[in-house]
Chains A and B, each alone.
Chain A
Amino acid sequence: MASIWHDIEPLLLNVEKPARYIGLERGIVRPPHNPKNVAWLLTYPDAYEVGFPNQGLQILYEIINELLVGEAERAYAPWVDLEEEMRAKNIPLFSVDTHRPADEFDVLAFNLSSELVYTNVLNCIDLSGIPLRSADRGADDPLVGAGGHCTYNPEPLADFIDFFVLGDGEEVVSELTYAIHQWKNSEEGNLDRERILRNLSQIEGVYVPLLYNPVENENGFQMLEPLFDDTPALIEKRTITSLEDWPYPKNQLVPITEVVHDRLNVEVFRGCTRGCRFCQAGMITRPVRERSLDQVRTMVTTGLRKTGYDQVALTSLSTADYSHIEKAVAAVGDNPLSCGQTGVSLPSLRVDAFTVDIAATIQGGKRSGLTFAPEAGTWRMRQVINKLITEEDLYGAVESAFSQGWRRVKLYFLIGLPTETDEDTLGIADLARNCVQIGKKYNKQASVTVSVGGFVPKPFTPFQWFGQNTSEELQRKINLLKDATSRIRGVQLKWHDPKATLIEGVLSRGDRALSALVEEVWKSGGTFQEWSEHFDLDRWLLSMEKLGLSVEKYVYRHREKSEPLPWDHLDAGLYKDFLWQEWRDALEEVGLEDCRWTPCYDCGACTGYGLDHVVASTSPPVGGSQGTWQDLTKGSEAPQLLTIRKKSEKV
């Protein structure tokens, strides 16, 4: 198949950062382009520098290319300047690996990690020359798929995506490839698109929206009816039982040009048991599955050797919770390459002194800044959201940081949380004031940056029933904080635009009627909406008005227990009763302990999947409450390795 590099090359003379489009990264695969194979174009619907480091995409890239019948290449949303040139010259979306046009692939697959990229998804489909809507595609058109965290409410994109995949992609991507391969090379030929869509719908974890008919119930809420007898009424997420079986990426790609998170990434565990009620990632990726220390060491050593990186991130939702965190960190330090200059970063620091001590051992001389996420300003509020960090935890962490030479601490908070009062909001300023005071003991220039974001309720969390704060209310709370912090020397306040929060809220819990909204906004030119210079609230509000869609209905109102939710046909492994109970407990300000060290409260993640329950350790590690609020008397051992048996009979 033909490379269109010669058509692309002249355009690159006139665009910003042309190296984003050339490929050539270390670790790249140039597949054989065997017409019998199933060729995937793994597309990140945002700029290259943001999409390139995405580990999910790189993992799938490797797994597919290892298959005998699979080939994978990558594409990223061209920046607006190149898109304009491409449209003028009729050049389609292309892969960066071999510069092959998108419509020569069998599958165009998107990674969805944020709602605001949805219009870019449509733009990429359109740039590929593929009909925008699933229903309009013919047998010759590529299949359009999507995975990633946003697929837990896929409805706003349901009209445009042929199949969504829920959960871990490592296993299911091969099943999809083989199913498509069989269909593509079958006797009848690949003329029958309905056939392949129905075949795909039989694979666990795969949701084919075209096979469901949206109907309204008596109260005007949308429900989905399966069209065929074999169309599953409930689609369960995929969960790999052991990370150990999937030591990917084995050849992490190294970019030629600048990208975010430019470092070796080694995932030390997946899932999280902390149970923060606002956190969708922590809910949908359960249960916790740790990688063995040996494998982490091997992945670090071989990864550094193959990539030439001098920076490693040990990734997870809360890396300080990894059973062998100290040894893993030491393993990086021991690496002989680059003159002992290999740095480690822990992308999510736990709020306690123990974690700061680890950070102190690894960052060497660099003491630029440390980031913590207490998330809420008062203990009451933190009980509601189940982020059970005591003030002592926070002050201990901050004291430890400033006393060990850091001068700047960054604190992340959410505003607009359920039951939040102005006292809770202003508690953020109090915490910041106290933190900066601690810092002044050690350094006159000590500073605390407070970063606040508006809370967006997400599907499959206890807060999925909560009515989001209006953007005016969020702005009022930001103003309260501006006033309260302006007089505190050493405290800087930053905030996320409440207007963008509003639109994230619209898309986060919307039903299928929103497909029309995404299309309307895209048509009016609204791409790259997660970039503040391109985001335009009026564009969204005008389109909603035009389509008769109510912001109140989609965002601001509280949901009833009886109300059908647009994601009720999906199963993230959590019992709805558990989530509802958690919602009630939140309103009662009752915290829930980390199930690593306490008995199972049966959220569904382990039992519902027939996995062996994660083993609770009676002996928590050293370091105070570890942000669990529990009175963990100083233990001496790390928590027991969380082990999981192979999937057995379903409960």
Chain B
Amino acid sequence: MIHLRLKSSKTGKIRFASHRDIAKVWERTLRVSSIPLVYSQGFSPRPKIAYGLALPTGAESDCEYIDIQIDNSKETPLQVEEICGLLNSNLPPGIEINGASVMEGKFPSLQQTVTSCLWDITVNEDDTTVDSWLDRIESENEIVLRRERKGKEVIDDIKPLVYLVRRKNKKIDGRITVQAELGTQPRSLRPSELLRSLEPHLSEYKLYRRKQIVEEGGQRLDPLEVAGATQMRSLVGAL
């Protein structure tokens, strides 16, 4: 049995598929590619696949992660490069594996291990408005987010989860992009929630997840680089 952590993109038309849709796409792609999977024990065995933090429907990304257990007990086990090549040829356009690590021993799940995400948030607003938000985020002691949970209104201060916000120089389609690093522990702060806490009716024009970050022992790591992970360097460039 090998435990693989794959990193992939989600760009173009496929961005409109939901997190749940993509999970099904992975399962079917693994079967089409005849990758031998490890199944759970019990009455109705399920393949052992764990998905990372959900990406909002409509957002693009360079850094989606998935943990898969592969049964390589066959006489001629598949090499990681082969597996990634097979999967890439069977994944829908827009989803492409761009990195992989072999995981050893026990390690925390993607949901537990990732501490923040770096986003490009493109908005349909003018320069002065955007600058005034950035000032508010900088200067105010707390940023209040109101949301419904189980029928009750919950009020949170999200400021501790805003690690970084700054304007990017380059405009996309003439629109301003704000780069934001938002915390994911104990719960993920979504970019849409940050915008909503600034202006109730504000939503993003385009959203792009650039990085998922693991803070581990004072280091900022890619989930492919955490303890116990051996990154398949040969894959970089080959894929």
Identify which of residues 15-51 in chain B touch chain A, using a CB-to-CB cut-off of 8 Å.
16-18, 20-21, 25, 27-32, 34, 37, 39, 43-45, 47
B44 adjacent to A337 (CB under 8 Å): no
CA distance A242 to B179 in the complex (A): 62
CA distance A116 to B6 in the complex (A): 47
CA distance A338 to B47 in the complex (A): 8
CA distance A12 to B43 in the complex (A): 41
Q: Please tell me if A307 contacts chain B, counting CB pairs below 8 Å.
A: yes
A308 adjacent to B21 (CB under 8 Å): no
* Cβ-defined partner of A305 (8 Å) among B13, B17, B32, B43: B32
Residue of A nearest to B95 (CB): A24
B18 adjacent to A19 (CB under 8 Å): yes
A257 adjacent to B92 (CB under 8 Å): no
- From known contacts A12-B58, A26-B92, infer whether A308 and B29 are also in contact, taking CB-CB under 8 Å: yes
User: Quick one: CB contact mask for A337-354 with B, threshold 8 Å, 1 for yes?
Assistant: 111010000000000000
Contacts of B27 in A (CB 8 A): 308
B28 adjacent to A23 (CB under 8 Å): no
CA distance A366 to B45 in the complex (A): 12
A341 adjacent to B45 (CB under 8 Å): yes
A366 adjacent to B44 (CB under 8 Å): yes
Q: Please tell me if A258 contacts chain B, counting CB pairs below 8 Å.
A: yes
Contacts of B57 in A (CB 8 A): 18-19
Residue of A nearest to B44 (CB): A365
User: Quick one: CB contact mask for B89-132 with A, threshold 8 Å, 1 for yes?
Assistant: 01011100000000000000000000000000000000000000
User: Quick one: CB contact mask for A12-33 with B, threshold 8 Å, 1 for yes?
Assistant: 1100001101111110000000
A254 adjacent to B14 (CB under 8 Å): no
User: Shortest CB–CB separation between residue A5 and chain B, in angstroms?
Assistant: 7
Identify which of residues 312-358 in chain A touch chain B, using a CB-to-CB cut-off of 8 Å.
337-339, 341
Residue of A nearest to B173 (CB): A10
B14 adjacent to A18 (CB under 8 Å): no
A338 adjacent to B92 (CB under 8 Å): no
A24 adjacent to B44 (CB under 8 Å): no
User: Shortest CB–CB separation between residue B48 and chain A, in angstroms?
Assistant: 11
A22 adjacent to B17 (CB under 8 Å): yes
B16 adjacent to A22 (CB under 8 Å): yes
A26 adjacent to B28 (CB under 8 Å): yes
User: Quick one: CB contact mask for B133-144 with A, threshold 8 Å, 1 for yes?
Assistant: 000000000000
User: Shortest CB–CB separation between residue B174 and chain A, in angstroms?
Assistant: 14
Q: Please tell me if A309 contacts chain B, counting CB pairs below 8 Å.
A: yes
Interface residues of B (CB under 8 A from A): 13-14, 16-18, 20-21, 25, 27-32, 34, 37, 39, 43-45, 47, 57-58, 90, 92-94, 205
Listed by A's residue number, 20 A-B pairs whose Cβ atoms lie within 8 Å are A19-B16, A19-B18, A19-B21, A21-B16, A24-B92, A26-B28, A26-B92, A258-B21, A304-B31, A305-B34, A306-B32, A308-B28, A308-B29, A309-B31, A310-B31, A337-B34, A339-B37, A341-B39, A341-B44, A365-B43
Interface residues of A (CB under 8 A from B): 5, 9, 12-13, 18-19, 21-26, 254, 256-258, 304-310, 337-339, 341, 364-366
Seed contacts A22-B17, A305-B32; 14 additional CB < 8 Å A-B pairs? A9-B13, A13-B205, A21-B16, A24-B93, A26-B90, A254-B28, A256-B92, A257-B17, A257-B18, A258-B20, A308-B27, A309-B28, A337-B31, A364-B44
